[in-house]
């Protein structure tokens, strides 16, 4: 008869994360203590302690409820206070009266006993006064509710102005184009084979970016943009990099699908930001790959009159027509449609 062997996992010690735990450094601790969040928390703790100290007041000895009811019935009470919020009753005995060596007594009562206590105090009134405290919001709670929104707004402003992690919430309208400024493409037209006509036309753009003065002298204007189309793998991106490499200018590259997202107006905002960056580093080349993600015939009626892609396309055309030849910003787009 065959024996069954039990399978034992060899040295399984559980799942481990590849990340090493981050040890707090002295610089990190110093940054925390200097930050506004630490002082806000410290202020809230100080106010809480002050509220607890201020509400403590005179010490009362805790006794059973029957003891206090007995003292009220015997008319031994000098003053009394019924605290409805905490369901407590506090009394101060007359001079010379003590219970277990204490003249200030406190007891808790259950729901329904308040009317009995008030009835006893009415029939046997203390020599000075007695009162029933109605439920009300404490000073500490009201103070926190009043200053907490202000502190929260100040903290968020400091966080965003400091460029922290939370500042990324408002950065979705920024362009995601990659600037190849420090590493200007080293490709040249000699690297492009089999596209002699396209290379010949793009040489004019290269000459304009390299030496625009001779074109300005005769009043010539360079085209606002160039559209490269063809099947995948035919060298559209290589042609754009060759133009930037020949002219030795900054090269911005971005995909057409990175303009439009779920937020309304993000595409147009990113187009404006992209052209603003390119104008600051002019002369420059903007290369948009897969332009068909946002480019189509305007007024087609797809998606309604307020379509996000149509807004992005309109903003792109406005930026192209808005700057003149002196802007020295050339738009090169590629598509396989």
Q: Is the pLDDT of residue 238 over 80?
A: yes
Same domain, 80 and 184: no
Same domain, 186 and 108: no
Nearest alpha carbon to residue 175 among 255, 44, 269: 269
Asked if residue 47 is part of any domain, the answer here is: no
The DSSP code for 233 is T
Same domain, 74 and 191: no
Same domain, 191 and 253: yes
Asked if residue 251 is part of any domain, the answer here is: yes
Better pLDDT: 23 or 242? 242
Q: What is the pLDDT of residue 19?
A: 45
249: its two tokens: 């200018």
Same domain, 327 and 263: yes
Asked if residue 53 is part of any domain, the answer here is: no
How many distinct structural domains can be found in the chain?
A: 3
Nearest alpha carbon to residue 274 among 211, 310, 318: 318
The share of the chain scoring above pLDDT 70, in percent, equals 66
Mean pLDDT along residues 250-260: 79
Q: How far apart are CA 189 and CA 25, in angstroms?
A: 52
Asked if residue 34 is part of any domain, the answer here is: no
Asked if residue 11 is part of any domain, the answer here is: no
From 71, 106, 133, the end of a domain falls on 133
184: its two tokens: 């200007």
Q: What is the pLDDT of residue 18?
A: 47
CATH code of the domain covering residue 88: 3.30.720.210
What is the CA angle 300-266-275, rounded to 5? 90
Same domain, 258 and 129: no
Same domain, 166 and 191: no
Same domain, 295 and 199: yes
Q: What is the pLDDT of residue 48?
A: 64
Q: How far apart are CA 278 and CA 282, in angstroms?
A: 6
CA torsion through residues 245, 248, 249, 250, sign: positive
Q: Is the pLDDT of residue 221 over 80?
A: no
Q: What is the pLDDT of residue 167?
A: 44
Provide the 3-class DSSP secondary structure of residue 327. Answer: helix
Asked if residue 48 is part of any domain, the answer here is: no
Q: Is the pLDDT of residue 140 over 50?
A: yes
CATH code of the domain covering residue 298: 3.40.50.300
Q: Is the pLDDT of residue 180 over 60?
A: no
pLDDT, one tens digit per residue, over 161-170 is 554 444 444 4
pLDDT band at 11 (very low <50, low <70, confident <90, very high): very low
Same domain, 242 and 307: yes
Same domain, 158 and 201: no
Peptide bond connecting 283 to the previous residue in cis, omega within 30 degrees of 0: yes
pLDDT, one tens digit per residue, over 107-124 is 888 877 878 888 888 877
Domain that holds residue 326: 178-335
Q: What is the pLDDT of residue 150?
A: 78
Instruction: Name beta bridge partners: 130.
Output: 80
The answer to whether the CB of 68 falls within 8 A of the CB of 91 is: yes
Nearest alpha carbon to residue 224 among 205, 247, 203, 248: 205
For 132, phi then psi, to 5°, come to -115, 115
Give the global pTM: 0.48
Q: What is the pLDDT of residue 183?
A: 54
Nearest alpha carbon to residue 115 among 80, 79, 84, 74: 84
Asked if residue 22 is part of any domain, the answer here is: no
Same domain, 166 and 291: no
120: its two tokens: 């006893």
Q: Is the pLDDT of residue 32 over 60?
A: no
Same domain, 319 and 198: yes
How many residues in the chain?
A: 337
pLDDT, one tens digit per residue, over 63-115 is 888 888 888 888 888 888 888 777 888 888 888 787 877 888 888 888 778 78
């Amino acid at each position: 008869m065959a024996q069954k062997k039990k399978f034992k996992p060899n040295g399984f010690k559980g799942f481990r994360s590849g990340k090493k735990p981050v040890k707090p450094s002295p610089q990190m601790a110093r940054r925390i203590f200097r930050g506004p969040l630490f002082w806000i928390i410290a202020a809230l703790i100080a106010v809480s302690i002050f509220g607890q100290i201020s509400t403590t007041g005179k010490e009362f000895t805790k006794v059973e409820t029957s003891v206090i009811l007995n003292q009220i019935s015997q008319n031994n009470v000098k003053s009394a206070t019924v605290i409805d919020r905490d369901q407590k009753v506090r009394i101060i005995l007359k001079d010379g009266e003590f219970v277990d060596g204490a003249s200030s007594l406190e007891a808790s009562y259950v729901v329904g006993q308040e009317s009995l206590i008030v009835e006893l105090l009415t029939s046997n009134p203390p020599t000075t006064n007695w009162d029933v405290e109605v439920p009300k919001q404490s000073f500490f709670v009201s103070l926190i509710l009043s200053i907490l929104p202000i502190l929260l707004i100040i903290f968020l402003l400091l966080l965003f102005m400091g460029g922290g992690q939370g500042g990324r919430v408002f950065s979705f309208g920024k362009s995601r184009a990659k600037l190849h400024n420090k590493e200007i493409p080293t490709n040249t037209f000699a690297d492009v084979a089999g596209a002699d006509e396209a290379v010949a036309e793009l040489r004019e753009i290269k000459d304009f970016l390299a030496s625009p003065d001779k074109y300005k002298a005769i009043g010539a204007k360079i085209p606002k943009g160039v559209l490269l189309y063809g099947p995948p793998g035919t060298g559209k991106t290589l042609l754009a990099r060759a133009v930037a490499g020949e002219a030795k200018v900054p090269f911005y590259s971005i995909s057409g699908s990175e303009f439009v997202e779920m937020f309304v107006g993000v595409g147009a905002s990113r187009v404006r930001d992209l052209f603003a960056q390119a104008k600051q580093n002019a002369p420059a080349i903007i290369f948009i790959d897969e332009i068909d993600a946002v480019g189509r015939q305007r007024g087609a009626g797809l998606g309604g009159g307020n379509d996000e892609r149509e807004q992005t396309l309109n903003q792109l055309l406005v930026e192209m027509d808005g700057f003149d030849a002196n802007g020295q910003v050339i738009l090169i787009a590629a598509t396989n449609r």
